[in-house]
A and B are shown apart, each in its own frame.
Chain A
Amino acid sequence: MSLIDSLPRVRGLRLPRADALVQWLVPLCIILVWQLACVTGFVPVRVLPAPSDVALAGWKLLLSGELARNIWVSFWRAGIGFVIGGGIGFAFGLVNGLSQLSNRLTDTTLQMVRNIPHLALIPLVILWFGIDEEAKLFLVALGVFFPIYLNTLHGIRTVDPQLIEMGRIYGMSNSELFRRVIFPGALPSIFVGLRFALGIMWLTLIVAETIAASSGLGYMAMQAREFMQIDVVVLSILIYALLGKLADSASRVLERLTLSWHPAFQKS
């Protein structure tokens, strides 16, 4: 029985319109300067196509359906890989945070594996899986595992022991203690891990798709390079930037929804 639902909604959720626009001012200016530089011939079109050309290339690809298909493939890979790797990382973080035994058993191993750059496994992964979907999913999952694992573990470990003692005094069962004290206390740290993981997710996917794929945004860029379609190369880079921003915004919204109690989210 939670009271939270019946109480007035938090102010922090409403995004002021002016603020939302201000953040796009700088990207907009960059595009304007870029367009000007191309139109005046300051930057040769062979080096960098004008934004308008990039937009045109995007429009063409959109009409052919190729763009949507590639974005969807990349999005799907990122999502599934993230859910698998993040899920396992979260589970390990929870278990190792709550159980000394499990932590002693697995933490050293995980810390060793963590220090291997996961992209260094690409040759091995290609040998294992070829250029099939598994290869990309494996790499993305491995990449997002560690930030989620480490931050979940850290979050649970740093929950105020005085609050845990309080929960025990007031007769909370283990599950109640977890639900009402430990998990909410670890949440800010879990979100830090989530945002790190989202960044790593895109990075891993781009690299993996560029090296070993037959579809997806990275593949689209590599293929365009073969045919000297520099506008498509630039287009895929811009799309990566947008998707990265989208993922970050999504995690921020989630953060605002769940951490509305936090003093940092109570202003504005």
Chain B
Amino acid sequence: MQQALRSGVLDAEPVDRVEPRVEQARLAREREVAASRGLPLTIRGLRKSFGGNEVLRGIDLHIPAGQFVAVVGQSGCGKSTLLRLIAGLETIDAGTISFGAETRAEDVRVMFQEPRLLPWARVLSNVEVGLGRDRAAPDAQRRAEQALAEVGLDDKRGQWPATLSGGQKQRVALARALVSHPRVLAFDEPLGALDALTRISMQRLLERVWHDQAFTAILVTHDVAEAVALADRVLVIAEGRVAHDIQVDIARPRRRGSAELAALEGSILRELLQSADDATEL
């Protein structure tokens, strides 16, 4: 299926050549999205409070299948709560979240800031955990090995997690999230605890697996540069609502530090600061 998806994009290329590069990339992406195995996500009137404090005050949102959406906002704006609700880790107070299709638990996966690996299980066993109900299947080990190879750690399968570096642990966590071939993958600041260089290589890895596996990706991050580098679309959350919804129509692969990215990052940061000022005035 992924084969078909890729060749579809290639076939389309000559027609697109006449169009400007940005437009071409956007169209290619849209076609890819249409053929994606990811799930669309529709959120209506979503509310959530914790002990009288309303964190989400009515979120309305549609994410097409296969889109890469970044969610940014000040700390405490509710972006992590939104992600936990999408992943089914919290109960919904009001509103709906629907995936447009029947989902199994294995279809929606989360990756956290902490790797959350079992220290007493070897790397490969940790990846197998991600198979969910398919853990007992005869091909479980082969699938775990495949996922581990995908994140470039096939040589570490027999190691204890304690022997890995922070970036490697996070890659194992990614393999664990990928092994069930999820159709929606939610990332909660997955690179927040990594150093700058490891972060960049992890960003590339995230982009690559998203491209290869064509799932719908929702990335919660406090790093606007990361958001514009990876996402098709950036949502700014402020005071429990979607304050801005920005399309990132920049062709991939995106060059880190390019003027286009920097300009977009600057304008999003300005909006974030603006909403921060509004919040303090209130």
Q: A residues bordering B, Cβ < 8 Å?
A: 1-4, 7-8, 162-163, 165-167, 169-172, 180-181, 184-185, 187, 259-263, 266
Compute how far the CA of A167 lies from the CA of B129 in the bound complex, rounded to whole angstroms: 8
Compute how far the CA of A47 lies from the CA of B259 in the bound complex, rounded to whole angstroms: 91
What is the total of A-B residue contacts with beta carbons within 8 Å?
64
B229 smallest CB distance to A (angstroms):
27
CB atoms of A262 and B122 under 8 A apart: no
CB atoms of B132 and A263 under 8 A apart: no
Contact indicator per residue, chain B 27-44, by CB within 8 Å of chain A (1) or not (0): 000000000000000000
A223 smallest CB distance to B (angstroms):
49
Compute how far the CA of A168 lies from the CA of B89 in the bound complex, rounded to whole angstroms: 9
Compute how far the CA of A3 lies from the CA of B105 in the bound complex, rounded to whole angstroms: 24
Give which listed residue, B124, B130, B140, B160, contacts A170 with CB less than 8 A.
B130
Q: Given A4-B122, A162-B112, 5 other A-B contacts at CB below 8 A?
A: A2-B125, A3-B125, A181-B118, A261-B160, A263-B162
CB atoms of A171 and B125 under 8 A apart: no
Contact status of A184 and B112, CB under 8 A, knowing A4-B125, A262-B162, A266-B160: no
- B163 in the interface, Cβ–Cβ < 8 Å? yes
CB atoms of B141 and A3 under 8 A apart: yes
CB atoms of A166 and B105 under 8 A apart: no
Q: What residues of chain A lie closer than 8 Å to B124, measured between beta carbons?
A: 3
Compute how far the CA of A71 lies from the CA of B175 in the bound complex, rounded to whole angstroms: 55
Compute how far the CA of A259 lies from the CA of B120 in the bound complex, rounded to whole angstroms: 8
Total contacting residues, chain B, CB less than 8 A = 31
Q: What residues of chain A lie closer than 8 Å to B130, measured between beta carbons?
A: 170
Q: What residues of chain A lie closer than 8 Å to B162, measured between beta carbons?
A: 261-263, 266
Q: What residues of chain B lie closer than 8 Å to A263, measured between beta carbons?
A: 162
- Which residue on A lies nearest to B141, using beta carbons? A3
A178 smallest CB distance to B (angstroms):
13
A118 smallest CB distance to B (angstroms):
34
In B28-79, which residues have CB < 8 Å from any A CB? none
Q: What residues of chain A lie closer than 8 Å to B125, measured between beta carbons?
A: 2-4
Give which listed residue, A2, A166, A185, contacts B116 with CB less than 8 A.
A166
B188 smallest CB distance to A (angstroms):
11
Q: What residues of chain B lie closer than 8 Å to A1, measured between beta carbons?
A: 135-136, 140
Compute how far the CA of A181 lies from the CA of B116 in the bound complex, rounded to whole angstroms: 11
- B106 in the interface, Cβ–Cβ < 8 Å? yes
Most A CB contacts (10 A, CB to CB) among B105, B109, B120, B158 go to B120
Compute how far the CA of A259 lies from the CA of B160 in the bound complex, rounded to whole angstroms: 11
Give which listed residue, A163, A169, A180, A187, contacts B89 with CB less than 8 A.
A169
- B110 in the interface, Cβ–Cβ < 8 Å? yes
Q: What residues of chain A lie closer than 8 Å to B89, measured between beta carbons?
A: 165, 169
Compute how far the CA of A263 lies from the CA of B110 in the bound complex, rounded to whole angstroms: 27
Compute how far the CA of A8 lies from the CA of B123 in the bound complex, rounded to whole angstroms: 13
Q: What residues of chain B lie closer than 8 Å to A180, measured between beta carbons?
A: 118, 121, 129
- B6 in the interface, Cβ–Cβ < 8 Å? no
- Which residue on B lies nearest to A259, using beta carbons? B120
**9 A–B pairs (Cβ distance < 8 Å), ordered by A:** A3-B128, A3-B141, A4-B121, A166-B129, A170-B129, A180-B121, A185-B120, A261-B161, A266-B163
- B119 in the interface, Cβ–Cβ < 8 Å? yes
